[in-house]
Amino acid sequence: MKDILKHRLIWPVVALIALIAINTATRPTFLSVTVRDGQLYGSLIDILRNSAPLMLVALGMTLVIATRGIDLSVGAIMAVSGAVALTIIDASATPNSPATVAVAIAAAILVSLVLGTWNGFLVSVLGIQPIIATLVLMLAGRGIALLITGGFITTVNSDPYKFMAQGYIAGFPFAFYVSVFAVAVVALVERRTALGMLTEAVGINPKASRLAGVRSRGIIWGAYIASGALSGMAGILYSSNIMAADANASGLFIELYAILAVVLGGTALTGGKFSIAGTVIGVLTIQTLISTITFLGVPPPVSPVFMATAVIIVVLLQSSRVHNAARAFVGLFRARGEPPARNDTANGAGTATDAGAQSLGDTPERDDTKVAR
C-alpha cells in the first residue's frame, strides 16, 4: 500500500477519479454512452475528442521540459498552422478535394516544423534562454497568422478537412485516433530507444552529458522541432473543429494548460525525469475539469479561479514537503495521545541503583584522595 501511495501518478489518478465521481454524482448521465448511426456519443466521448489538441501540445511540451526548457509559442504555432491550412483551402478551386486538403495539411505541418526549428536554433545553438526565445515567437506568431489571413477570420466549407475533428471511425472520433497515434509514437521513441534516457541525461545535467559524449544540442533542438510539429497538428484539429482560422482565439492560453498538464503528470519543471503516461493523465484531468466547470455553470470570470484552486490542490498533494509536514503533524498528534515513555537508560537505571542503595543502607563513597589533595 505504501508503494502505491508513493507512486508519482497516484495523486493525478485520484484527482481524475474524483472529478469523474463529482460529475457522476451531479449528472447521472455523465458516464452513459449512446450509439447513434454507429457513432458513440456522450460526455466521455466529448472529453476524448476535445482533449486531442491539448494532448498533442502537451506531448511536445513534455519533451521540451525534459530538456530543462519551456515552449511558450505553441499557441501561436497553432494559429499559424490553422491560418496556412485554411488559406490554401480557401484559395483552391476544389476545397472538397482530398488532394487539396492533403496539400494544405502538409504545408501547415511544414511551416510548423520551420517554426519549431527556429525555436530550437535560438535555444540550442545561440544559447538564448528558452522562455525568452519562445516568447519572441509567442508574440510574433499571431501577427504572422493575421498577415496570412489578411486580418480576417477565414472560414471554409470542406468536408475532408471537417472530417479531421468531426469525423468518426469505428465509433470513435478521428481526432481521438490522432492523439492516440501521437502518444504511441512518442512513447515508443522515447521509452523503447536510448533517446529517452539521453533526453533525461541532458535535462538533469547538460554539461555532464555533453562531456560524456551525448549530443545535447541535437537532442534539445529535436525536442523543439517535435513540439512545433505537434502544435501544428493541434492547430489543424482546432481549426477543423470550428472550420475557421481565428488568429486571436486559436490556441489561446493552451501553453498554460499544457504546462499544467505536464506538471500534474509528475514531470518536474527543472528537467530530467519525465512521464508520458503522467502527461496523458494530466491532459484528461484538465479537460475533465474544463467540462466540469462548463456543466456546473461557473461564470466565465470565475472559472480561472475555480481551475486554479483545483490545480493547486492537486499540486500540493504531490508536494514532498507537504507530505513530510503531514507526517510530522501526525507523529506529533500520536505522541501527545500516548503516555510518556520511561527512560530506562538514564533515569531508569539511576533510580534502580539509588533504590538498591537505599534498601541496603549504603552511603556513597567519598573520594579520599581528592579530599587529601
pLDDT for the residue 177:
96
Say how many domains are in the chain: 1
pLDDT for the residue 341:
57
Name the residue range of residue 150's domain. Answer: 4-325
User: What confidence category does residue 318 fall into, taking pLDDT thresholds of 50, 70 and 90?
Assistant: low
Q: What is the CATH number of the domain that holds 290?
A: 1.10.3470
User: Which burial class, exposed, middle or buried, applies to 146 when counting CB atoms under 10 A from its CB (0-12, 13-18, 19+)?
Assistant: middle
Residue 157 falls inside a structural domain: yes
> At residue 98, does pLDDT exceed 90?
yes
Residue 335 falls inside a structural domain: no
Residue 301 falls inside a structural domain: yes
pLDDT for the residue 364:
46
Residue 167 falls inside a structural domain: yes
Q: What is the per-residue pLDDT across 357-372, written as a single tens digit (0 to 9) for each?
A: 444 444 444 444 444 4
Residue 334 falls inside a structural domain: no
Residue 340 falls inside a structural domain: no
Residue 331 falls inside a structural domain: no
Residue 332 falls inside a structural domain: no
pLDDT for the residue 372:
42
Percentage of residues of the chain with pLDDT beyond 70? 87
> At residue 352, does pLDDT exceed 60?
no
Residue with cell 491560418: 83
Sign of CA dihedral 135, 136, 139, 143: negative
> At residue 172, does pLDDT exceed 50?
yes
CA angle 181, 17, 230 (to 5 degrees): 25
